[in-house]
Amino acid sequence: MRRTERQLIDAALAVNEAGTLDEALAALASAARELVVADRVSILLWDADFAGATVVATSGAEGVSDDRIESNGPTARLVRDDTPFVVTKEHLEGVADELAARALALGTLLCVPISLKGLPTVSFQASWRLPVTEEISELAISKLRLLGRLTRVAFRTESERARAREDARLRAVIEAVPDGLVVRTNAGGALVNSAARELLAVGDDPPVEIGLRELDGTDVPPERSPLAHAVRTAEPQSYLLRVMRGDGIERVHEGRIAPVADEHGDVFATVTVFRDVTEAEKERYVTQQFLDSLFESLPTAVAITDPETWEIRRVNQSFVDLLGFDLAQTIGARPPFPWWTEDYVIPRPTPENPVIHHERLLRRSDGSLVPARLTKALVRDAEGAPAAEVVLIADLSERREFEQQLIQSGKLASIGELAAGVAHEINNPLFAILGLVEFLLLEIEPETKAHERLALIQDTALEIKEIVRALLDFARERSDERSLVSLGDVVAQTVELMRRTSAAKQVEIVERYTAEPTPIEASASQLKQIFVNLISNAKHALKDGGGTITVEVGRDGDSAWAEVRDTGPGLPEDVAARVFEPFFTTRRDLGGTGLGLSVSLGIAQAHGGSLVVDSSPGEGAAFRLRLPVTEEEVVA
């Protein structure tokens, strides 16, 4: 029996080491022949329905394999019933004649079926040329049954071999990937390619937990890692993180984790592909820093918005400085923006027109207005899809002011010249009239009708003389030179001029002056211009309906103020909001230029003062100029 055991163990080893199923079965056949000392042993593999069998291995003289035996006769039935038997002529009923003859020619032919759970049925056919005793054949049956168990090993190693081949193929694929690749299973197994081992500086088993940090250095706890997230959500995750390698060196890795889910959606494995982008990231960081500092230090206001919603994503310091809204009021804001002065239709850059310029009037957080030139450009991502809009805002107020000053000084110059010219032309005939009237008055009998009329002509002519004098004064005082003047005096002189030149006589101008001194350092002619504008606007507001204009001068501590108030219709809110805008006028058809108030505001600001409107519709309008007083008291 010891010999038999030895033989069985050898057989098991041979089957185990066989490279293929065929080799394993061949090893089984030869082990069987030695075990039962037969001349020949064949192994037959039976169809699942026992309609026939194929010879899958043969050992011994005249071995044949691949023979097909079609038989549904007694042999097949006995095999199906797992009954060993010595083959006789009767058993071969239904088998092809030539095959049956060959089988019987082998001598004593023993058939031992082996049917193991989960495996196809095989039968061992042992044959001896010489007749054998019943005792020997019984022994052979028991030995072959024992050996038959090894068919399981033969078949199992085949599936194992298949898996090993699969593994080898998978490993080759994984190794062929130039990026780091890690396949993790829930069971804790991991497949790591050599690129990954190198990138992570780890051995064959990667650590379960790898230290991760955001680019800004904050720790990523394991439960918030992209791997945990991919497993939890069953969604692929991309990441760009600092990774602590096995050798303690930190590198930046960019990667993607794909979860592998079963038919229930449960993730049982993950595939991570990653690479080291430390150098690229360093470069990107420097570029980013460069762009950031450029962006922040740019003297032009810049806003970066969403290309679809125009939600503000980022603005630079110049933007905050220009409009005065802080970041909390700016970032995340969407149209209509708080700095809009009206509801704009935002133009969209197009591929044909990628850069758009337009001018807008914007309102600062303190309510003041800025004319601005906006340049919009579309930024596209790598795929060409709109990624952001960049808006550059150039402050035009200085340019506008300059332009206005040019317009205004040109205008004043021509008014001055005109006034001087007209005064000169009027003066000569006027002196003639006055001289002649004086002669006539001497010649005509006093207290007659004619004398009375002549006196009236003289009064009127004197009035004309006053107007001419005022006009000449105005023309002469055109200079921008500042001197110490009294605001009250400047106002009184202007009212006087206006009163004389007033076409609408039914307008009453009421004057109120403070007893306190109102010394200011100013260009009297420029201040007069403000009051000319304010009083003539008030007159226009009163139209023909009559009414009162009140001009008042006062002083609050170290500021002096002058107010022009009328009893006209006042200003609707939307008009009040825009009256100081250059070229804004509601009287375009009546010759309005829309410059009066903006120029007046400009003069007020140039003097370090302010000009504001106070009005409610139906209650008239009041414009108030406020200027700082000068320390020195005015003496005149």
Using CB under 6 A, list all residues that contact ligand ADP. 533, 537-538, 541, 566, 568, 571, 575, 579, 584-587, 592-598, 621
Residue whose CB is less far from ligand ADP, 54 or 548: 548
CA-closest candidate to residue 363, choices 534, 577, 633, 178? 577
Residue whose CB is less far from ligand ADP, 114 or 595: 595
Residue reference for tokens 């009064």: 459
Q: Cβ contacts of residue 5 below 8 Å, gap of 6+?
A: none
To ligand ADP, the closest distance from the beta carbon of 590 in angstroms equals 8
To ligand ADP, the closest distance from the beta carbon of 533 in angstroms equals 6
Residue whose CB is less far from ligand ADP, 563 or 566: 566
Displacement of CA 284 from its chain's centroid (Å):
18
**Element (DSSP H or E) covering residue 372:** strand 369-380
To ligand ADP, the closest distance from the beta carbon of 564 in angstroms equals 8
C-alpha pair distances (Å), 360 with each of 299, 335, 369, 391: 19, 14, 10, 13
Q: Cβ contacts of residue 595 below 8 Å, gap of 6+?
A: 404, 407, 408, 582, 583
Displacement of CA 296 from its chain's centroid (Å):
19
To ligand ADP, the closest distance from the beta carbon of 575 in angstroms equals 5
To ligand ADP, the closest distance from the beta carbon of 588 in angstroms equals 7
To ligand ADP, the closest distance from the beta carbon of 511 in angstroms equals 17
Residue 171 tokens, joined: 């490993």
To ligand ADP, the closest distance from the beta carbon of 594 in angstroms equals 4
Alpha-carbon Rg for the chain, nearest whole angstrom, is 55
> Mutual orientation of helices 397-443 and 449-476 as an angle, nearest 10°?
150
Residue whose CB is less far from ligand ADP, 174 or 611: 611
Phi, psi dihedrals of residue 12, rounded to the nearest 5°? -60, -45
Q: What is the largest distance, in Å, between two alpha-carbon atoms of the chain?
A: 189
Give the ranges where 149-300 is alpha helix by DSSP (H). Answer: 150-176, 194-200, 226-233, 278-297
The span from the CA of 425 to the CA of 192, in Å, is: 105
Cβ 478 vs Cβ 457: under 8 Å: no
C-alpha pair distances (Å), 608 with each of 146, 267, 412, 560: 116, 73, 22, 12
To ligand ADP, the closest distance from the beta carbon of 412 in angstroms equals 15
To ligand ADP, the closest distance from the beta carbon of 541 in angstroms equals 3
Residue whose CB is less far from ligand ADP, 258 or 575: 575
Residue whose CB is less far from ligand ADP, 336 or 545: 545
To ligand ADP, the closest distance from the beta carbon of 587 in angstroms equals 4
In single-letter form, the type of residue at position 62 comes to E
Q: Cβ contacts of residue 545 below 8 Å, gap of 6+?
A: none
Residue nearest ligand ADP (C-beta atom): 596
**Element (DSSP H or E) covering residue 134:** helix 134-148
To ligand ADP, the closest distance from the beta carbon of 551 in angstroms equals 12
Residue whose CB is less far from ligand ADP, 40 or 578: 578
β-strand pairing of 369-380 with 386-395: antiparallel
To ligand ADP, the closest distance from the beta carbon of 544 in angstroms equals 15
The span from the CA of 616 to the CA of 614, in Å, is: 7
Residue reference for tokens 């058809």: 589
Burial of residue 305 (CB within 10 Å: 0-12, 13-18, 19+) is: buried
Residue whose CB is less far from ligand ADP, 434 or 575: 575
Query: Quick check: helix, strand or coil at residue 539?
Result: helix
Residue whose CB is less far from ligand ADP, 368 or 593: 593
β-strand pairing of 212-213 with 267-276: unpaired
To ligand ADP, the closest distance from the beta carbon of 479 in angstroms equals 23
Cβ 610 vs Cβ 604: under 8 Å: yes
Residue whose CB is less far from ligand ADP, 255 or 602: 602
Residue whose CB is less far from ligand ADP, 250 or 614: 614
Residue whose CB is less far from ligand ADP, 151 or 585: 585
Residue whose CB is less far from ligand ADP, 16 or 536: 536
To ligand ADP, the closest distance from the beta carbon of 621 in angstroms equals 4
The span from the CA of 220 to the CA of 195, in Å, is: 24
Residue whose CB is less far from ligand ADP, 181 or 595: 595
Give the ranges where 18-128 is alpha helix by DSSP (H). Answer: 21-36, 74-80, 97-105
